[in-house]
Amino acid sequence: MLCKLRGKKPLLKNKPAFLAQVLSRRKKVFCKKKKCVGIRLLPVLIVLSVFTISLAIGAYARRNRISEEDRFSVEFWALVEAMKR
């Protein structure tokens, strides 16, 4: 209805034409000279994964340097047994 008011054809009558219009608009907005710009998901995922894994390895290495008596530990089984009582 709004399309008729603006003098345009309704987009949803012909679905392939509608998809072509949406894709052509999307290319104009996000791509310049066939080179897309913007933030992509894969590089962000890779950086966050590498960062998280490197911090986990560093924490593991630091924890191994401390003697077993001085390490922080939570006795889960003792906690579970206490909760059962």
Taking only the tens place, the pLDDT of each residue in 40-81 is 899 999 999 999 999 999 999 999 999 999 988 888 898 899
CA distance readout (Å), 47 to 12, 32, 39, 51: 40, 25, 13, 6
Q: Which domain holds residue 57?
A: 2-66
Task: Answer whether residue 46 is part of any domain.
Answer: yes
In the chain, how many H helices and how many E strands?
A: 4, 2
pLDDT at 62: 95
- Position 23 confidence tier, pLDDT thresholds 50, 70, 90: low
How many residues comprise the chain?
Answer: 85
Task: Answer whether residue 58 is part of any domain.
Answer: yes
Task: Answer whether residue 79 is part of any domain.
Answer: no
Report the sign of the C-alpha dihedral through residues 55, 60, 63, 65, in that order: negative
Domain count, the chain: 1
Task: Answer whether residue 81 is part of any domain.
Answer: no
- Position 5 confidence tier, pLDDT thresholds 50, 70, 90: very low
Q: What is the pLDDT of residues 24-43, one digit of tens each?
A: 654 444 566 667 678 889 99
Q: Tell the residue number behind the tokens 């003098």, with chain if given.
A: 7
* Entry pTM: 0.47
Task: Answer whether residue 15 is part of any domain.
Answer: yes
d(CA 58, CA 64): 10
